[in-house]
Amino acid sequence: MTASATEIQSRTLAGYADASRLRQVHDRDWVLERLPAEPQILVDLGSGIGQLLQAALERFPSIRLAAGLERSEHRIAEAAERLRPYGARTVLHRADLTDPEPLPLRPDAVTMTSVLHWLFPHEERIFAWVSDRLAPGGRFLLTTYHPARDEHGLGGEDEIVREALTALGTPRADVPALFARAGVLPIATRTRTVDDLAAVLRPHLAVAGHRERDAVVTVESAEQYAHFHAATFGDYYSRLVPAERRADFFRAVGEAARQRQGERGHVSHMPVRLWELTTH
Ligand SMILES: C[S@@+](CC[C@H](N)C(=O)[O-])C[C@H]1O[C@@H](n2cnc3c(N)ncnc32)[C@H](O)[C@@H]1O
């Protein structure tokens, strides 16, 4: 059996430039507006395909070095291509942010957008890393998502996946146990509440301010959402079904989103917080 285009995409997290227009792009613009007036050294954590670094380099001629730390080799390769015109002003490091290396960087600006939930339950390691490196007066701008969760810890994208699994024949009540059996921690559990996160941050960083917005995702077609899901969540959720049902799974996720769009006028919405952090 040959894999569908969406399955192949999910393995390499491809198509992110296009897919991220649905949600993540708004975080980038939001964060760039809050950077210090003339940043010198910027570190972007979970830099993906380098879009934030590119936008920052274009907007701030003061940046001498824009460094990206990222785990996915596919994304690093795409970022390297995008950032090639900026030559020695950029550097990319392959890094696991749950076990960050002691790189010799002294940034006055650090950013991390749409990444933190992937580091659960070890977020404090990257907070300590930033706290050790941030230059005096520097800013760490962090965005975090806070979907509502049910008694099983499911919410946000988990809900759409639950609807897809139900359409494929899994009784709705069995979905939390299926997540547990497959070792898929619900995203709404990974995202922590604002209060929990504040407690994890507090020993390492001070909160200088915050903003909130409602991130609303709307979609034009089932195919568009299947593409967004594969580019954003990769094969994280598709492990819930056997290999031979994965193409059906991505189709069902797209269809669940399309139905929601028809019924509610959007697929999902959830509060996003921008934290402005400094050292103590
Ligand atoms: C939703 S994307 C966000 C990318 C980019 N920051 C943006 O806002 O568009 C999450 C990124 O975090 C990266 N990531 C997830 N876990 C990671 C880890 N443990 N270490 C480094 N990068 C990680 C993923 O590979 C992916 O590029």
For residues 9 and 264, the model is more confident at: 264
Which atom from ligand 1 is nearest to the alpha carbon of 112?
Answer: 6
Which tens digit of pLDDT belongs to each residue from 130-186? 999 999 999 999 999 999 999 999 999 999 999 999 999 999 999 999 999 999 999
Q: Determine the Cα–Cα distance for residues 223 and 212; give it in Å rounded to an integer.
A: 30
Pocket test for ligand 1, best of 71, 123, 124 (most atoms within 8 A of CB): 71
Distances (CA, A) of 55 to 71, 210, 221: 21, 22, 29
Residue 21 has pLDDT above 80, yes or no: no
Q: What is the number of alpha carbons within 13 Å of residue 37 lying toward its C-beta?
A: 0
Lowest mean pLDDT among 25-39, 90-104, 136-150, 253-267: 25-39
Question: Is 48 close to ligand 1, i.e. is its CB under 6 Å away?
Answer: yes
Q: What is the pLDDT of residue 47?
A: 98
Question: Is 97 close to ligand 1, i.e. is its CB under 6 Å away?
Answer: yes
In the reported structure, the alpha carbon of residue 170 is separated from the centroid of ligand 1 by a whole-number distance in angstroms of: 30
Number of structural domains in the chain: 1
Residue 276 has pLDDT above 90, yes or no: yes
Which tens digit of pLDDT belongs to each residue from 190-230? 999 999 999 999 999 999 999 999 999 999 999 999 999 99
Q: What is the pLDDT of residue 1?
A: 47
Q: What angle do CA 75, 80, 86 make, to 5 degrees?
A: 140
Residue 42: which domain range? 5-278
In the reported structure, the alpha carbon of residue 126 is separated from the centroid of ligand 1 by a whole-number distance in angstroms of: 13
Label residue 8 by pLDDT band (50, 70, 90): confident
Pocket test for ligand 1, best of 24, 47, 115, 123 (most atoms within 8 A of CB): 115
Q: What is the pLDDT of residue 195?
A: 97
Which atom from ligand 1 is nearest to the alpha carbon of 27?
Answer: 8
Which atom from ligand 1 is nearest to the alpha carbon of 44?
Answer: 6
Q: What is the pLDDT of residue 41?
A: 98
Give the residue among 89, 85, 5 at the shortest CA–CA distance from 41. Answer: 89
Question: Is 190 close to ligand 1, i.e. is its CB under 6 Å away?
Answer: no
Label residue 19 by pLDDT band (50, 70, 90): low
In the reported structure, the alpha carbon of residue 169 is separated from the centroid of ligand 1 by a whole-number distance in angstroms of: 32
Q: Average model confidence (pLDDT) for the chain? A: 94
Residue 16 has pLDDT above 70, yes or no: no
Average pLDDT over residues 5-23: 71
Question: Is 20 close to ligand 1, i.e. is its CB under 6 Å away?
Answer: yes
Average pLDDT over residues 256-273: 96
| Sign, Cα dihedral of 11, 77, 72, 153 | negative
Question: Is 234 close to ligand 1, i.e. is its CB under 6 Å away?
Answer: no
Joined tokens for residue 14: 């491809």
Label residue 24 by pLDDT band (50, 70, 90): confident
Q: What is the pLDDT of residue 20?
A: 66
Which tens digit of pLDDT belongs to each residue from 41-53? 999 999 999 999 9
| CATH number of domain containing 56 | 3.40.50.150
Nearest residue (by CA) to ligand 1, atom 25, is: 72
